[in-house]
Amino acid sequence: MDTSYTKNIKEEALKVIKQIDNSENPNLQILRRSLNNVFFDEDKRIIKLGDKKETRNYFNINQAKKFMQTIKILAQINENLQKKTPNISTRQLFYMTRGIIENSDEECFEDQSESDPIIEDVEVVLDTLREELGLIATPDGYFVGDIKVKDLVTGDLLDYTKMGSGGGAIPAIVEKDVYEIVECKAKFVVVLEKFAVWNILNQTKFWKKHNCIILTGKGQAGRSARRLLTRLSKEMKLPVYVLTDLDPWGYYIYSVYKQGSISLAYFSEKSSVPTAKYIGMTTRDIIKYKIPKSSWMKLKDIDYKRIKEIKKYDWFQAKEWQEELTRLEDFKYKVESDAFVTKSVDFVVNEYLPDKIKRQDFLP
């Protein structure tokens, strides 16, 4: 693995040792990942982490254990990188760093909820992504289309036109050095919130007919699905269109693909598609395509509350979005993309998507 990370870890550790030698309060400087250090970069149009740092001191009663945990995780990651162990999950790392503290009955980590935030800390301290530190999040996404990739871990050449009805699973790590795009003939990407919709498009070979890639992150997208989409957009210059449910949650899923999320703001720079467009559903589509009323569901209080929240986000300030959110409030119903089948099973395949893309009828 990349030795530059082991070098960085060693540098951090030596810094701490030097502080100890100088009788300073041993500390690590960590970018704050809390809401007050998250902002929307208007130029790059992504959610970003600010530069506010917090000092994690050892001789501070609230931080002592966290400090110890951070050093321990650094040591374990360092060891894994040096030994070139296969990529492991955050849960596996949790088990590797567990253990009873000497002369006590206290665990170094009580449960995974203690080690996960430390992993995020380490990512920002080393200014990298966990994927590059040999750590994986459980992947949860599929895609097919005219694209060929070489998996450098296994050495396999993957042809995503031949993935059958199950489609191609998005691996946990899709970084260039292990997952090399060899060829891409597809002209654009359609992202589907729902696996069920993606499934119909795959079975009907929508991607072949329109020469595109269809991808689903199965709901809120995981890290590798977002990373892959970013690479397709940035490296292959493919336009990206997103289809979600007609409800505030669907809108937000789109915005995460496009601008990133608050909780993983430090991840946005490397996983966001500011050029992505929103296909739908929109409130206007419901009328225009005469989506039957049997597929409408009443908006609940929690939905209205979410609409109000989203309306306030900096990245939803475009006029079109503000209007759409107001229309949704007035419309009083939400419509799941699964519900398109009430019109007809192939409606989304043969009518809705081709029509919307042809007319470039998108929200920004």
Partner 1 sequence: MGNEITRAHELAEDHKEISVAEFFEKNKHLLGYENLQKSLLTCVREAVDNSLDACEEMHVLPDIYVELKKIKENRFKFTIEDNGPGIVKEHIANIFGKLLYGSKFHKLQQSRGQQGIGISASVLYSQLTTGKDTKIYSKIGDGKVHVYELHIDTKTNAPVISKEHTIYGNGRGTRIEMEVKGKYMKGKRSIFDYLQQTAVMNPATKLVYLDPEGKKHLFDRAVTKLAKRPKEIKPHISGIELGTLKKMLKITNARNIVSFITTEFSRLGKQTADQIIIGAEVDPKLSPKNLTFNEMEALIESIERTKVSNPPTDCLSPVGETAIEKGIKKELHPEFVATITRKPAVYRGNPFQIEVGIGYGGDLDKEGQATIMRFANRVPLLYEQAACALTKSLMQTEWKRYGLSQVGTSIPTGPVIFTIHMISVWVPYTSEGKEAVASYPDIIKEVKLGLQDAGRKMQVYLSRKKRASDIEEKKETFRKYIPEIASALSRITGNDAKGIKDKLNKDLEGRVESLEVKTEQYDDLELNKGKTEKEEIEEVTEELKEEMTEKEE
Q: Which residues are identified as catalytic?
A: 95
Answer for which of 79, 127, 180, 183 binds partner 1 (CB under 8 A) is: 79
Contact segment (CB under 8 A) with partner 1 among 30-38, 124-132, 148-156, 319-327 equals: 30-38
Which of 2, 4, 17, 209 is the binder for partner 1 (CB under 8 A)?
17
Does the protein bind partner 1 through residue 182 (CB under 8 A)? no
Q: How many CB atoms lie within 10 A of CB 43?
A: 6
We find the least distance from the C-beta atom of residue 45 to partner 1, in angstroms, to be 20
14 binds partner 1 (CB under 8 A): yes
Q: Binder to partner 1 among 35, 287, 318, 345 (CB under 8 A)?
A: 35
Crossing angle for the helix pair 112-125 and 64-83, nearest 10 degrees? 70
169 binds partner 1, rule: CB under 8 A: no
* Integer Cα distance of 86 and 95 in angstroms: 15
- Concatenated DSSP letters of 60-78: STTTHHHHHHHHHHHHHHH
Question: Is the separation of the CB atoms in 171 and 139 below 8 Å?
Answer: yes
Q: Write the DSSP assignment of 23-41 as a string of letters.
A: T---EEEEE--SGGGEEEE
Task: Give the interface segment with partner 1, choosing from 170-178, 230-238, 259-267, 293-301 (CB under 8 A).
Answer: 259-267
Q: Does 67 bind partner 1 (CB under 8 A)?
A: yes
Q: Which stretch binds partner 1 (CB under 8 A): 98-106, 123-131, 277-285, 350-358?
A: 98-106
- Pairing outcome for strands 142-144 and 46-49: unpaired
Q: How far is the CB of 67 from partner 1 (least distance, A)?
A: 7
The amino acid that residue 77 corresponds to is I
Distance CA 65, CA 274 (A): 39
Distance, in Å, from the CA atom of 325 to the CA atom of 192, rounded to the nearest integer, reads 20
Among candidate residues 67, 63, 66, 33, the one with its CA nearest the CA of residue 51 = 33
Q: Which residues bind partner 1 (CB under 8 A)?
A: 9-10, 13-14, 16-17, 20-21, 23, 26, 33-36, 58-59, 61-62, 64-65, 67-68, 71-72, 74-75, 78-79, 101-104, 106, 108, 218-220, 245, 249, 252-253, 256, 261-263, 306
